[in-house]
Amino acid sequence: MPILDLTDIKTVARYEEFIASSPYGHVMQSVNWAKVKDNWDSDYVYLQDEAGNITAALSILSVKNDGVHAFMYAPRGPVCDFRDIDTVKSLVKEAAPVIEKRNGFVLRMDPEFAYDEEVLAAYRNAGIDNLEITTRGADEHSFSNPRMHMIADISMGTHDDFLKTVKSKNKSKIKVPYKHGLKTLRFHRGDPQFEETLDKFYELTKIMAKRQGISYRPKDYFVRLFKAFPPEAVTLYETRTPEQEVLSCAIALGFNRKYFYIYAASSNEKRNLRPNYQMNNEAIKDAIEQGYTQYDMGGIYEVDSSGGLYSFKKAFCGEGGLLEMIGQFDWIFNSDAYSDFSK
């Protein structure tokens, strides 16, 4: 049965290679992502052809919120063409022993698949009695991961080519920090100043969270993130003034075709110098040099051009950079537990 044996090093490597190279692969489906989410259990299901080649996969994280029933989540899964309902159903069927072992009450999928009315209709008409779909029209904060992401196309060749796609008013914003002498430094796990820089990143994270009135993750979470992936895959950026005052930091993670601007934080000071614009511009430059074709700036909850998060990310991603995903697909195995969970 194609449930990944984590003690089989060769098969684990083959599974990870499939996720890392598939056009449907996402970093949250990587085996390494479970190392970041260390308080969750993890299981991996896959399909293969007659030659033994992996053709589809589903990485599942599980946590027992009530101590009995497990919420099972395949973030940005499955790794297959989501239009192929039979393949998706086959993955769920192969996951049955895992669902039983974990006492799962629901298996949630939220594929990185564009909103499509025809595909939604196909799932609704597929006769899947235990499937609950949440999509456009629901509270955007109700999704496990943001349903809308801003993604820059960086496949055009060079950084100069990319800048040609940026509107002149946004190019002017990018130039501001350079004119004031700001520098952006890069650090990787194992570098001499890495620990000190990570401490600064976390300090700015707390400052930013207080400013915006939001929660923030514990430092151990970010430590695990850097340890979970090869050192060269995760970069810690730091933008500072000529006087060595750190104004912003960010973590970027490269996987498959994408360079993820995954976490960022900034100071309350000298925000007029636009350090985040330089930091993203430098990260995009790195991503292009390393051969990535997309720069994922993460989620938004509303499309509002009057300012804020959407406007900032649109400066790099453009009008066409918005990816509205299809939504959440909950395969329900215990309706009572699911009802309690939903409340």
Res 279: pLDDT: 98
Tokens representing 178 are 């350079």
Residue-wise pLDDT tens digits, 3-34: 999 999 999 999 999 999 999 999 999 999 99
Where does the pLDDT of residue 66 fall: very low under 50, low under 70, confident under 90, or very high at 90 and above? confident
Whether 1 shows a pLDDT value over 70: the answer reads: no
Kindly state the average pLDDT of the residues 55-60: 98
Res 343: pLDDT: 84
State how far the Cα of 98 lies from the Cα of 284, in Å rounded to an integer.
Answer: 39
Kindly state the average pLDDT of the residues 198-206: 97
C-alpha distance from residue 234 to each of 61, 209, 221 (Å): 22, 22, 14
State how far the Cα of 47 lies from the Cα of 2, in Å rounded to an integer.
Answer: 6
Nearest Cα neighbor of 91 from 134, 138, 44, 132 is 44
Per the CB < 8 A criterion, the answer to whether 143 and 110 are in contact is yes
Kindly state the average pLDDT of the residues 68-96: 97
Res 304: pLDDT: 83
Where does the pLDDT of residue 192 fall: very low under 50, low under 70, confident under 90, or very high at 90 and above? very high
State how far the Cα of 127 lies from the Cα of 207, in Å rounded to an integer.
Answer: 50
* Percentage, residues of the chain above pLDDT 70: 99
State how far the Cα of 160 lies from the Cα of 145, in Å rounded to an integer.
Answer: 32
Beta strands in 188-257, from DSSP E residues, in sequence order: 234-240, 246-255
**Backbone phi, then psi, for 289, in 5-degree steps?**
-65, -30
Of the ranges 66-75, 107-116, 160-169, 179-188, which one carries the lowest mean pLDDT score? Answer: 66-75
Pairing mode, strands 246-255 and 234-240? antiparallel
Residue-wise pLDDT tens digits, 168-185: 999 999 999 999 999 999
Kindly state the average pLDDT of the residues 245-249: 98
What is the model's pTM?
Answer: 0.95
Res 319: pLDDT: 87
Peptide bond into 2 cis (omega under 30): no
Where does the pLDDT of residue 207 fall: very low under 50, low under 70, confident under 90, or very high at 90 and above? very high
Of the ranges 63-72, 234-243, 290-299, which one carries the lowest mean pLDDT score? Answer: 63-72
C-alpha distance from residue 320 to each of 44, 298, 323 (Å): 34, 15, 8
**Backbone phi, then psi, for 149, in 5-degree steps?**
-125, 150
Res 2: pLDDT: 86
Kindly state the average pLDDT of the residues 198-204: 97
Helices then strands, each counted (H, E), the chain: 12, 13
Of the ranges 86-95, 201-210, 248-257, 305-314, which one carries the lowest mean pLDDT score? Answer: 305-314
State how far the Cα of 135 lies from the Cα of 190, in Å rounded to an integer.
Answer: 42
DSSP type of residue 3: B
DSSP type of residue 110: -
Residue-wise pLDDT tens digits, 261-270: 999 999 999 9
Where does the pLDDT of residue 308 fall: very low under 50, low under 70, confident under 90, or very high at 90 and above? confident
Res 231: pLDDT: 97
State how far the Cα of 117 lies from the Cα of 133, in Å rounded to an integer.
Answer: 12
Q: How many CA atoms lie within 13 A of 176 on its CB side?
A: 15
Res 310: pLDDT: 93
